Amino acid sequence: MKWRKSDKRPRWLDTRSRPKSGKLYRVQNKNLRAKHNVRSNSMRKSLLKEPEPLIDIFQNGDNIMVVAELKGFRKENIKARVEKRRLVLSANAYGRSYHKILSLPKAVVPESMRIAYKNGVVEIILKKAIEAKAIKELAG
């Protein structure tokens, strides 16, 4: 059986209505092409951006423990400091940098800070400061 030409087939299949360049889906407007181009430079940069490291803050007894996932950094490149009720965590290595300011749930003693780094996980342990109200009640 031989295939016959028919006028009943869909218009998108009709070879007579195709552009002469041979491209089936040709966009004439350049602005429209840039708007719908998925692989534009700004989109590429946002797709390649590293995700934010995971950070958890725990309170247990007299301590506050901060656990942060900082893969790809060395222990020497990680810096942490305490300012009032804030913990400033920063790391720099190989053209990558990370900077985060965390609000702590209680006031802490800055000199009591201990930092441990193993397998890309930073563990910072801080002692809670003794509240002034409790001292006044004991003295009074």
3-state secondary structure of 73: coil
| Domain co-membership, 64 together with 133 | yes
Residue 3 lies in a domain: no
Q: Which residues pair with 59 in a beta bridge?
A: 64
Taken as a whole, the chain contains a residue count of 140
Q: State the DSSP H helix or E strand holding residue 103, giving kind and residue range, or none if neither.
A: strand 96-103
3-state secondary structure of 30: helix
Residue 5 lies in a domain: no
Residue 4 lies in a domain: no
| Domain co-membership, 131 together with 67 | yes
pTM of this prediction exceeds 0.75:
no
Identity of the residue numbered 48: L
Query: In the sheet that 78-83 helps form, which strands lie side by side, from edge to edge?
Result: 78-83, 86-93, 96-103
| Domain co-membership, 66 together with 119 | yes
| Domain co-membership, 80 together with 37 | no
3-state secondary structure of 58: strand
The pLDDT tens digits along the chain (140 residues) read 566 666 665 555 555 555 555 544 555 555 554 444 445 555 555 555 667 889 999 999 999 999 999 988 889 999 999 988 999 999 988 888 889 999 999 999 999 999 999 999 999 999 999 876 655 566 65
Residue 6 lies in a domain: no
Residue 37 domain boundaries? 11-48
Report long-range pairs for 114-117 (Cβ below 8 Å, ≥24 apart). Answer: 115/75, 115/78, 115/80, 117/70, 117/75, 117/78
Residue 114 lies in a domain: yes
